[in-house]
A and B are shown apart, each in its own frame.
Chain A
């Protein structure tokens, strides 16, 4: 692959739609199921993932010639773990309110499949700039998917959106429970793919 093939827009749309981490690649489903019972949770986790993905992508693409082929997996894990710890400590010190809400999940980002898979598939074979935008696209795609699932579950489960009361009661409590995450993701995934196909068919016809 060559750097010239990757425009900024193409990288962003790739992460958001074409290879959306949740709806198309179906990677990192555990956090997506566990964390998405509110929109805010989805947004906060998405933000943390965005940072780690971009920082790891850039680091790996800078040092890709230095990292020996045989030990690339341990090397990637060290790089991801470093950035996760950096964000963990920085958030705890400078954004304690924000950290309090996502402390539980930040440390788990180390094992998110989406991050290491982008390092392996993209950042290890591309230069810094496209890798940066690939990380941005993937991070934003992840955040977008999490927030969408969070919207559905928060509205149906708690009757609120971003903590703001929309309905004065909790319509379907089931949607707040972890198993409902699977249903929510499945439903939105189906809708997402259906819409994308419709759009592609429409574009092909034009």
Chain B
């Protein structure tokens, strides 16, 4: 019995000390980690904004799936309204307005948002789906839209950030997080793959496929933009090459056709869904008496 107590106590103390240490490190690092992530996201977004247009401010739209007891499922959008503050727009999956309620609490953090939504929609269950970020200039014109979403990779989720121009064409693709194989699927991070998406219009995107052909050498050189200066190539000529190949299908990464295909499908799905949803939101928000801030 004494042995039993000694062993149990021994393990308990080790676990307690370990838990205390982990708790301490977590509280010290968690906010910094979140801050880093936010900073990284903003740097990534800043790359697609024209610095001459002045500083951008960001309008964030969060999409939720809403379940209310005894009623059909609905889609909800948290969106900023003109003059400050946020509102919650509740729609049927078909795009009919159910309700529009002003939100009376902070919505920046995911936990804050959940609390605010719980107060605005008592009894309903809300499930976070995804977020859209619109970059606006001082006059409130849209400079770019950013879609944060994920797509199934070869192994687990690949988290993407797609930048769209005001006309809906793709400005760029960033891979925020992935767990693909180093040297193979991980190449989706490389410029020569990501930059193949830049400049695609919505119509091109709908038909976009993936081909298993080696990347032509001159196209690769124009895709690897950060190496231009170092290689001493004429930017104008490279621009022409890019324009020539830029309307063909995506060239898959050698040995990673699945990753290439999934990312391409993901970009298509995210962009097309975004365009459709934004159209519905803009149309319905005004009819529901809301003045969105974008």
Closest residue to A68 on the B side, CB-wise? Answer: B10
A92 at the interface (CB under 8 A from B): yes
- Let me know if B15 and A78 touch, CB within 8 A: yes
A124 at the interface (CB under 8 A from B): no
User: A38 to B186, alpha carbons, bound, how many Å?
Assistant: 12
Partner-contacting stretch, out of A12-20, A82-90, A126-134, A195-203: A82-90
Chain B hits for A173, CB < 8 A: 254-255
Size of B's binding interface in residues, CB under 8 A: 27
Give the residue of A75, A100, A158 whose beta carbon is less than 8 angstroms from that of B183. A158
- Let me know if B22 and A86 touch, CB within 8 A: yes
Chain A hits for B182, CB < 8 A: 35, 37-38, 41
B40 at the interface (CB under 8 A from A): yes
Q: How far is the CB of B225 from chain A (nearest CB, A)?
A: 17
- Let me know if A94 and B18 touch, CB within 8 A: no
Chain A hits for B40, CB < 8 A: 96
Partner-contacting stretch, out of B25-33, B92-100, B119-127: B25-33
- Let me know if A89 and B10 touch, CB within 8 A: no
Known: A67-B10, A90-B25. A178 touches B181 (CB 8 A): yes
Closest residue to B255 on the A side, CB-wise? Answer: A173
Size of A's binding interface in residues, CB under 8 A: 32
B275 at the interface (CB under 8 A from A): no
B7 at the interface (CB under 8 A from A): yes
Chain A hits for B254, CB < 8 A: 170, 173
Chain A hits for B6, CB < 8 A: 68
- Let me know if A68 and B33 touch, CB within 8 A: no
A71 at the interface (CB under 8 A from B): yes
User: A93 to B36, alpha carbons, bound, how many Å?
Assistant: 7
Tell me if B's interface is mostly helix, strand, loop or mixed: helix
Give the residue of B7, B29, B36 whose beta carbon is less than 8 angstroms from that of A71. B7
| Complex interface bits, B250-290 against A, C-beta within 8 A gives 1, otherwise 0 | 00001100000000000000000000000000000000000
Chain B hits for A85, CB < 8 A: 22, 25
- Let me know if A93 and B183 touch, CB within 8 A: no
- Let me know if A78 and B18 touch, CB within 8 A: yes
User: A178 to B22, alpha carbons, bound, how many Å?
Assistant: 34
| Complex interface bits, B29-55 against A, C-beta within 8 A gives 1, otherwise 0 | 110110011001000000000000000
Known: A71-B10, A86-B21. A176 touches B183 (CB 8 A): yes
A79 at the interface (CB under 8 A from B): yes
Q: How far is the CB of A151 from chain B (nearest CB, A)?
A: 14
Q: How far is the CB of A38 from chain B (nearest CB, A)?
A: 7
User: A74 to B15, alpha carbons, bound, how many Å?
Assistant: 10
B11 at the interface (CB under 8 A from A): yes
Known: A38-B182, A177-B255. A75 touches B33 (CB 8 A): no
Task: List 27 A-B pairs, Cβ < 8 Å.
Answer: A37-B182, A37-B183, A38-B183, A41-B182, A67-B14, A68-B7, A68-B10, A75-B10, A75-B11, A75-B14, A78-B18, A79-B14, A81-B18, A82-B22, A86-B22, A89-B22, A89-B26, A89-B30, A92-B33, A94-B29, A96-B33, A96-B37, A100-B177, A158-B183, A170-B254, A176-B183, A176-B255
Binding site for B on A (CB under 8 A): 35, 37-38, 41, 66-68, 70-71, 74-75, 78-79, 81-82, 85-86, 89-90, 92-94, 96, 100, 104, 157-158, 170, 173, 176-178
